Amino acid sequence: MEQVNVKLTLAYEGTDFSGYQRQAQGERTVQGELEKAIVSLTEEEPKLIAAGRTDAGVHAKGQVVNFMTASRIPLPRWAAALNSRLPSDLIVEQAQAVPAAFHARYDAKAKTYQYLVSRRRWPDVFLRRFCCHYPYQLAVEKMQAGAAFLVGEHDFKGFAAAGSAVATTVRRLYRVDISEQDEELSFILAGNGFLYKMVRNIVGTLLLIGEEKMAPEMITEILATGQREKAGPTAPPQGLTLMTVEY
């Protein structure tokens, strides 16, 4: 039977998920919940391919997955049919038919992440699941100066967490923007790919620069040496959201 390659755009709140990828121990994951919904709808076991594998606690507004199916369900009905079977913290925003060769991970040209930091004295009870509480004085101009060194093609080994099993640690960042509004900071990072925990390690380093515990120029040394210990700590997961994947 002829199969169709279906591309889904997902949004989810990562708080109660043990990441995107299915876990051997049976923890609740985005992939696991989506697979159950697809099996319920089509009686097929899907082989899901994701643009990226978000960690536990990390959110997404524009995660992309694809899979092959022999189902005859019309594409306009897929989102509603799956959403009726999915939990409230996971939604299919869009379903599309794509060419058979389309691959959500390998065909991605760019990804954009946002990281939110709250600088209020006390944690915001309504935003605590979506931002990092960091109630310290920050020199935002110095953080922006440090961020400028990250733009372009570099070896980001010094910002990768242990366990990054990749062929190369070279990536290109198109933008690293830091904006300030009231007591909140927004970090926007866009690039052709990201290493394991790379965004959170960059944010943790820029926050140290903001506290003036590290000079902005230290970014160049981290890039040159590839030594993770020279960079800052890993920022917590709840502030991070995968915003878009471009093809």
CATH of domain 4-98: 3.30.70.580
Catalytic residue among 55, 89, 155, 182: 55
Active-site residue, 55 included = yes
CB atoms < 10 A from the CB of 163, how many?
7
CATH 3.30.70.660 location in the chain: 110-246
Report residue 193 as tokens.
């790919």
Q: How far is CA 132 from CA 91, 119, 234, 246, in A?
A: 24, 9, 11, 26
Report residue 151 as tokens.
């733009």
The position carrying tokens 């904006």 is 179
d(CA 27, CA 61): 22
d(CA 145, CA 210): 10
pLDDT of residue 25: 82
What is the enclosing helix (H) or strand (E) of 128? none
pLDDT tens for the 247 residues of the chain, in order: 789 999 999 999 999 999 999 988 889 999 999 999 999 999 999 999 999 999 999 999 999 999 999 999 999 999 999 999 999 999 999 999 999 999 999 999 999 999 999 999 998 899 999 999 999 999 999 999 999 999 999 999 999 998 777 889 999 999 999 999 989 999 999 999 999 999 999 999 999 999 999 999 999 999 999 999 999 999 999 999 999 999 9
d(CA 79, CA 123): 35
Sorted by sequence, the CB contacts under 8 Å of residue 74 that are 6+ apart come out as none
CATH 3.30.70.580 location in the chain: 4-98
CATH of domain 110-246: 3.30.70.660
Report residue 181 as tokens.
């509004």
> Phi and psi at residue 154, in whole multiples of 5°?
-145, 165
pLDDT of residue 165: 77
